[in-house]
Structure 1
Amino acid sequence: MTKIWVYVLALLAGVSLSIEGAIYGVLGESIGKLETSFYNFAVGSVIIGVILLFFGKGKLSYSKRAPKWQLSGGILGVIYLTLLVYGIPYLGVGLTMISVIAGQMAMSMVIEHNGWLGSAKIKVTKEKMMAVALMFAALLLVF
């Protein structure tokens, strides 16, 4: 797969997150915020379970032996989605998502700069710091 397709897929992931956030923000008002988060993970678990039956090639049983910190993504996913369900009705999709992206950019730079969580060490540059500063400026301008 060429690098351009990875960028396109990442952009599509961002598009789908905004659509998902908008949908779940409204659903949270209808069925409850925590119930919406539960619904998302219940339906998602069933769907990925069916997909695993046909296409899974990994070793799910390894999760019993994996370092516990590697399993924390599930907890963080629940926190992320639930905060979106709470935030979107008050802030709107745009402001909530730009907040998410600014936070992601800042934390990603810290993680990569320090090589935390098994990531490659990638030095923070002036340009990267400026990009994050502009993201936060955009957040203030949208607010």
Structure 2
Amino acid sequence: MKLMIYAAALFAGMSLSIEGAIYGELGKSIGKLESSFYNFFVGTIILAVVLLFFGKGSLSHTFKAPKWQLTGGLLGIFYLTILIVSIPLVGVGLSMISVIVGQMIMSIVIEHKGWLGSSPSKIQKEKAAAVVLMAASLFLIF
């Protein structure tokens, strides 16, 4: 089961690179903010249809959720819009490696501090070494 989760996560990462490249080009055609809007608009429509058939939660509970839990949408807009701007300037590889290094650093900090509902996990030297090596790859790709 874990192997399937790892494979799905790997595929999700691959799809982010493809998505970034596509929306970088779309940004050239229709505008950067318009490209980001298009992504979220189409995604909302598709997800709404899927939700009708498979949704098991309750959207009405959104207003009862802690406000910090609702910031993911803002972060998603920031993430995609930055990719749309950066990919045409520096390329898919450099943009995505930058994203991955940022994700690794923040993930380690979140787990170390036990923030956002995660279980605390001390920073291990292997994790730190992985971040240093990824940062080195960012430098080498640049």
Same fold (TM over 0.5): yes
Q: Give the match for residue 46 of structure 1.
A: 45
**How many equivalent pairs are there?**
142
The letter for the 2-side match of 1:127 is E
Q: CA RMSD in A?
A: 0.4
Please say if 1:70 is aligned against 2:69: yes
Q: Is 1:37 the counterpart of 2:36 in the alignment?
A: yes
Report the AA paired with residue 35 of structure 1: E
> Which residue identity is paired with 1:40?
N
- Which segments of 5 or more consecutive residues in structure 1 lack a partner in the other structure? none
What's the counterpart of residue 103 of structure 2? 104
- In structure 2, distance between residues paired with 1:9 and 1:129: 25
Question: Residue by residue, what CA displacement relative to the aligned partner does 1:103-133 show, whole Å, maximum 9, x if unpaired?
Answer: 0000000000000011111111001000000
Identical aligned pairs, as a percentage?
Answer: 65
CA distance in 1, matches of 2:74, 2:118: 20
TM-score, length basis structure 1: 0.98
Structure 2 counterpart of 1:58, one-letter code: G
Deviation per residue, 1:17-59 (Å, 9 max, x gap): 0000000000001100000000000000000000000000011
- After superposition, residues 1-143 of structure 1 pair within 5 angstroms as 2-143=1-142
Cα distance in structure 2, aligned partners of 1:91 and 1:58: 40
Letter paired with 1:73: G
1:78 CA drift (Å): 0.2
